[in-house]
């Protein structure tokens, strides 16, 4: 049985909303709405697509050379509020929920970065210039086991 689009989008919503988030998004483009995340080695992009029927959201999933997309269903009727099935209506609601969660996550990160500009600059510069080493408590369990620490 194939995995449903609803299930995949709900998974992304849940991972984005968790505290701390298990799915971390970043803005990929400032010219158009494009967000990107890496989930278990899969590149995930949330984009706005535009057509004669209006704008809609698209999720693009890429792993190595393989790719697939999930499109937000286009509504019909006045102001695009009619859908052919209740499943389409639910998927649209999930897309909107994901878009809001991703946007909020990125905005929060931007505000935090603005407030801590000097500290962030110092941390990144030290890591780049001096290869700042992590303490054993910051190392992953697998890495600690491999090097025999802890």
Break the chain into its structural domains and give their ranges: 5-115, 118-150
40-82 per-position pLDDT tens digit: 999 999 998 887 767 889 999 999 999 999 999 876 555 556 6
Query: What's the CA angle centered on 70, arms 67 and 74, to 5 degrees?
Result: 145
pLDDT reported for residue 68: 96
Q: What is the pTM of this model?
A: 0.72
Supply φ then ψ for residue 133, to 5 degrees. Answer: -90, 140
pLDDT at position 143, please?
Answer: 45
As beta bridge partners, residue 58 has 47, 71
Helices (DSSP H) in the chain: which residue ranges? 5-17, 86-115, 117-130, 141-147
> Which pLDDT score is estimated for 146?
47
Dihedral in degrees, nearest 10, Cα atoms 66, 61, 10, 31: -170
Q: Tens of pLDDT along 99-140?
A: 999 999 998 888 888 888 888 888 888 888 888 665 544 444
What distance, in Å, lies between the first and last C-alpha atoms of the chain? Answer: 44
């Amino acid at each position: 049985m194939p995995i449903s689009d609803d299930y995949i989008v709900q998974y992304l919503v849940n991972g984005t909303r968790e505290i701390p988030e298990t799915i971390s998004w970043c803005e990929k483009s400032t010219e158009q709405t494009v967000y990107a995340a890496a989930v278990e080695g899969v590149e995930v992009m949330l984009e706005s697509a535009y057509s004669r029927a209006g704008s809609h959201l698209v999720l693009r999933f890429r792993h190595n050379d393989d790719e697939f997309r999930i499109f937000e269903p286009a509504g019909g009727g006045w102001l695009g509020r009619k859908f052919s099935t209740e499943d389409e209506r639910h998927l649209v609601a999930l897309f909107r929920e994901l878009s809001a969660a991703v946007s909020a996550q990125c905005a929060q990160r931007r505000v935090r970065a603005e407030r801590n500009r000097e500290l962030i600059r110092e941390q990144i510069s030290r890591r780049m210039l001096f290869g700042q080493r992590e303490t054993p408590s910051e190392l992953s369990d697998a890495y600690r086991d491999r090097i025999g620490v802890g």
